[in-house]
Amino acid sequence: MGCGTNILTDVPVLKNYIDGDWCDSESKELRDVVNPATGEIIAKVPMSTADETNSAIESANNAFERWRVTIPVSRARYFFDLKNLMEENFESLAQWIVKENGKTIDEARGEVRRGIECVEVSTGIPSLMMGVNSEDIAIGIDEMLIRQPLGVFFALAPFNFPNMVPLWFLPFAVAVGNTYIVKPSPQTPISQVKLFELFDELDFPPGVVNLVHGDVEVANVLLDSPDTKGVSFVGSTPVGKLVYERASKSGKRAQVQGGAKNFLLVMPDADLERTASALMTSCYGCAGERCLAGSVILVFEEIHEPLMKQLVEMARMIKVGNGLDEGIQMGPVISAKAKERVEWYIDQGVKEGATLVLDGRSIEVERYPDGFFIGPTIFDNVTPEMTIAKEEIFGPVMSIMNVKGFDEAIDIIHANPYGNASSIFTSSGKWSREFQYRVQAGNVGINVGIVAPVAHFPFSGMKDSFFGTLHGQGEDAIRFFTESKVVITRWF
Ligand code: NAD
């Protein structure tokens, strides 16, 4: 079982999973895990000690030699079994996401489905990790490339997709023969405990998969250790920069997926009704707490009024509440602090002269007075120099900005330091082609509001939204988690 009970409070205290066993942390520092819809404390999470983190590294390191010689088809079978267990526990995994993160149950189901897709793709590892060879690179000499695992890898995960994000990495890393440590977000650690309960049922050899709770201190032990070979980080850009630097100092591989500010361009020839509906999902899905969430809508003047009308009508209709309740379309943001931060941005927008058309600050949600709710918010007349146009808000705030032409829109997008996702809405092939060709964003949408790459494609990102070379998922993942060893052969 992944939880003990705190004698003083009756709230479960989460355990680490190290060397194939659930273990209590000896740390005196426990943080509250709060259900953001109710404000209720649902678990306590330990900030594990350096010794505990080191014992996970040691266990993963010891497990590596045996795991790497386990043949790929056998390693892949663990992931076939994991897929089946995740399907059996699908609803319960989704409910835990809602309870600790606040998104709606349908959004949580989507998250579990996307995680399962990564597991499914990793079952193809025997062929995915095959090398290549070239006969006769010189007379009588052949050359081949073989992909080999490297050792211990780890993930530092964000709060917003607590089940799925570690699955962007772990199945690929472990299926190619590495061993792994997950450090979940201290705000949403339960979903990983629930996943590790399934790993435990699968009887991986001890040390192949490990879970260590904590925050900066645990991350730093993992980053500084000479025995970890690489890190997959997903989180905010300022933290991502620190992680990238620290990983590089100790010579580790790093793939660092950072924050975002996503611009969506609506051309005059767009299908307005479908576009408005896509913009709703993009800006308000998961309460705007997605790295792929739409933030600034660039609109041509001639369609500004009819589009605005539809957006405001639709946004007003969104039912906000506890994501576990029937019919709820948007949940709370993650914490009281996050709510304050988003409200600060709304205040700032007003101060800097944007027109607040729909104000989510005053929302009251029946039966949940202690939840961290913000209603859908819309600003009009936003200009590029405003704070709400430049910084990542990570909440349900849509900013409308007028543009006069395609080139101006591209310039506005490019002036922003982030480059995670960007979309165009149009019925013109010429403009879509021009957009995909020129836009500096890793994930590009053509009439698509949330550009979430499926598991056999890399989850891209550019500029301040990604540091590294090889992204998570897809073929990039296979290359990130393996060394490309080259062998040149001549027989006398
Ligand atoms: P965060 O940066 O606060 O935390 C991410 C992880 O880093 C957590 O596990 C945290 O414990 C750890 N951490 C915090 N400080 C650290 C430090 N100094 N050194 C090492 N590790 C540290 O991010 P968050 O608030 O949990 O997540 C939201 C952010 O994640 C948003 O900016 C969002 O855009 C981004 N995100 C990006 C993607 C993507 O694919 N690009 C996906 C999801 C979320």
Site to probe by mutation for ligand 1, drawn from 234, 245, 393, 473 as the one with most ligand atoms within 8 Å of Cβ, is: 234
Asked whether the predicted pLDDT for residue 136 surpasses 50, the reply is: yes
Residue whose pair of structure tokens reads 């201190």 in the numeric block: 217
Q: How confident is the model at residue 1 (pLDDT cuts 50, 70, 90)?
A: very low
Report yes or no on whether pTM surpasses 0.85.
Answer: yes
Beta bridge partners, 21, equal: 18
Task: Tell me how far the alpha carbon of residue 7 lies from the centroid of ligand 1, in angstroms.
Answer: 32
How confident is the model at residue 362, as a pLDDT?
A: 87
Asked whether the predicted pLDDT for residue 9 surpasses 70, the reply is: no
Other beta carbons within 10 angstroms of residue 182's beta carbon come to 26
**176-191 per-position pLDDT tens digit:** 999 999 999 999 999 9
Asked whether the predicted pLDDT for residue 27 surpasses 50, the reply is: yes
Distance of CA 411 to the CA centre of its chain: 27
Task: Looking at the CA of residue 185, tell me the nearest atom of ligand 1.
Answer: 9
Identical fold, 3-258+465-490 and 262-446: no
Q: Is the CB of 157 under 6 A from ligand 1?
A: yes
Terminal Cα distance for the chain, rounded: 59
Length, in residues, of the chain: 492
How confident is the model at residue 7, as a pLDDT?
A: 52
Question: Which residue has the least CA distance to atom 34 on ligand 1?
Answer: 259
Burial class (CB in 10 A: 0-12, 13-18, 19+), 395: buried
Task: Tell me how far the alpha carbon of residue 127 lies from the centroid of ligand 1, in angstroms.
Answer: 33
Region 76-97: mean pLDDT is 98
Distance CA 466, CA 200 (A): 33
**300-319 per-position pLDDT tens digit:** 999 999 999 999 999 999 99
Which CATH code of 3.40.30.10, 3.40.50.150, 3.30.70.960, 3.40.309.10 fits the domain covering 262-446?
Answer: 3.40.309.10
Task: Tell me how far the alpha carbon of residue 131 lies from the centroid of ligand 1, in angstroms.
Answer: 34
How confident is the model at residue 279, as a pLDDT?
A: 98
How confident is the model at residue 10, as a pLDDT?
A: 82
Q: How confident is the model at residue 5 (pLDDT cuts 50, 70, 90)?
A: low
62 CB-side CA count, 13 A: 13
Read off the tokens for 112.
Answer: 């579990």
The CATH topology of domain 3-258+465-490 is: Aldehyde Dehydrogenase; Chain A, domain 1 (3.40.605)
Among 9-13, 175-179, 230-234, 397-401, the least confident range: 9-13
How confident is the model at residue 197, as a pLDDT?
A: 98
Region 141-153: mean pLDDT is 98
Considering only CA atoms, which of 427, 375, 383 is closest in space to residue 401?
Answer: 383
Q: Is the CB of 420 under 6 A from ligand 1?
A: yes
Task: Looking at the CA of residue 158, tell me the nearest atom of ligand 1.
Answer: 26
Beta strands in 51-178 (DSSP E): 132-138, 141-149, 152-156
Question: Which residue has the least CA distance to atom 22 on ligand 1?
Answer: 216
Q: Where are the domains of the chain?
A: 3-258+465-490, 262-446
Asked whether the predicted pLDDT for residue 364 surpasses 80, the reply is: yes
How confident is the model at residue 356, as a pLDDT?
A: 98
Q: Which of the residues are catalytic? A: 291
Region 212-233: mean pLDDT is 98
Distance CA 397, CA 389 (A): 11
Asked whether the predicted pLDDT for residue 2 surpasses 80, the reply is: no
How confident is the model at residue 3, as a pLDDT?
A: 62
Secondary structure (H, E, C), 251-279: CCEEEEECCCCEEEEECCCCCHHHHHHHH
Region 279-295: mean pLDDT is 98
How confident is the model at residue 326, as a pLDDT?
A: 87
Question: To the nearest whole number, what is the mean pLDDT of the chain?
Answer: 97
